[in-house]
Amino acid sequence: MCWEAVGFRAMVKLILNIVVCLLLINPLVTLAQDGGLTPTLNGENGINASIDENYYADELFEDLYDSEDEERVPPPLRNGLRNVFSNLRTPLNAINALLQLKLELAAAEVSRLLINSTLGIAGFFDVAKKYCAIEGKNEDFGQTLGYYGVGEGFYVVLPILGASTLRDGVALVPDGYADPLSWLVNYETNIVCKGIKGINRLSLDKDTYESVVAEQLDPYLFLRDAYVQNRRCNVND
Amino acid sequence: MKKIIVLALLIFTGMAIIANAAPDTNLTPLGPKEQLQQTVEAVLTILRSGSADEEAKKQKISELVRNRFDYQIMSQGVLGRRWRATDANERSEFVDLFTQLLEETYIGRIRTYKGQEVVYSDAKIRKNRAEVDTVVRDNGVDIPITYKLIFRKQKWVVYDVVIENVSLIRNYRSSYNDILRKKGMASLLEQMTEKIKTLKASQGQTQKQVSA
């Protein structure tokens, strides 16, 4: 990378760090790049409880989707629905790819949006991937912040939304504004769509939570580490 | 990340050797990719076979897996720096428990297999280590799984599995280290034993339900 870009990055990093610090008050923001994450705000029990609460929220919604012995929504429809939602977030991916100076990826996301919204019938089918071999990648503002060197801060489990870190949690705010769904529909409809999106995703990946809880000595630690490993890799790609 | 567990059964698909491999394979030693592929495909064949005897299937898979996965190196990786400070008895107990725990966790999952296909990329070899990237095709979603292998005793063995960027060994190391720091080795071993017991019990139960 040319060193002008590095200078640009350093400047953006500085500004972003200041913004995050101002936003999030205080020394809790550890801008450490390496090493273990700082232990969290809650005690161990508090956190485990919050994982469980999320789970029950999911379960409640899931009953609307699946009854005991039948699938109310057939799997192909679920996959299609997932594609529609992922098509809706392509502008968000493109913006964040641009912010991270990943021009090729930004172009790919734009092409995907154009192809899938038309030929793919509002994104129901992923034509771009299947027939044109254009693959996308989820990019969000948390990754953009990470790209410019903003540290993760501590790990948190957000109600309903699940695993996150301080940085990624803050990043949900700009992501929310950049999400096309929030421009297209009013606030209430947006919330309902988010709910459907979540339930649909969960239905495609049903037994994950139950198995982690059943099989791991400490599900909280296991999920925390998995989340952080996955995020670090996505930030550094 | 979430797919980790659902597809975990494919982790242990990575573990095994063809016990009855023909002798001529020794003459032209297979590379890491081919050796891994043999094991994974052998496990998939067992999974696809219609026979209802789940116990026998589990037994066969476990055998394949134990031949391809080096549980000793994996345990060493999980304990990290603690390995040296651990005495021989505790080490072998840990290896034994960790093996059982992984098997109970992942082999119990064979019922969830729904015909997913595995695609292999060429191995990246550096000295005596290799990485084989694979992709599991699950219902239109591709899940990247990387196997890390090391050449030991004339064959390639798996010592880590990376699913969607999450290393299995690092994942266990991080949670076990926390337990070790707070409560010590004896407590960790105890918790592992306890967990194996509950996993076995719950599996026995589902088996009864299935056959009932």
- CA torsion angle A191 A192 A195 A197 (round to 10): -100
Q: Where are the domains of chain A?
A: 51-236
> Is the ipTM beyond the 0.85 threshold?
no
Chain B window 101-160: which residues touch A at a Cβ cutoff of 8 Å?
Answer: 104-105, 109, 112, 139-141
> Which residues have CB under 8 Å from B73's CB, separation 6+?
B150, B152, B157, B159
**Residue numbers in chain B where pLDDT is lower than 50:** 9, 12-27
Q: Is the pLDDT of residue A63 over 80?
A: no
* pLDDT score, position A119: 93
Looking at mean pLDDT, say which of A3-12, A49-58, A202-211 comes out highest: A202-211
B-chain residues near A75 (CB < 8 A): 139
- CA torsion angle A90 A96 A102 A103 (round to 10): 60
Q: Give all domains of chain B, ordered by start, each with its CATH number.
A: 2-204 (3.10.450.710)
Chain B window 170-199: which residues touch A at a Cβ cutoff of 8 Å?
Answer: 170-172, 174-176, 178-179, 188, 191-192, 195, 198-199
Q: What is the pLDDT of residues B58-101, one digit of tens each?
A: 888 999 999 999 999 999 999 998 999 899 999 999 999 999 99
Cβ atoms < 10 Å from Cβ of B167? 20
Backbone angles phi, psi at B172, to 5 degrees: -65, -40
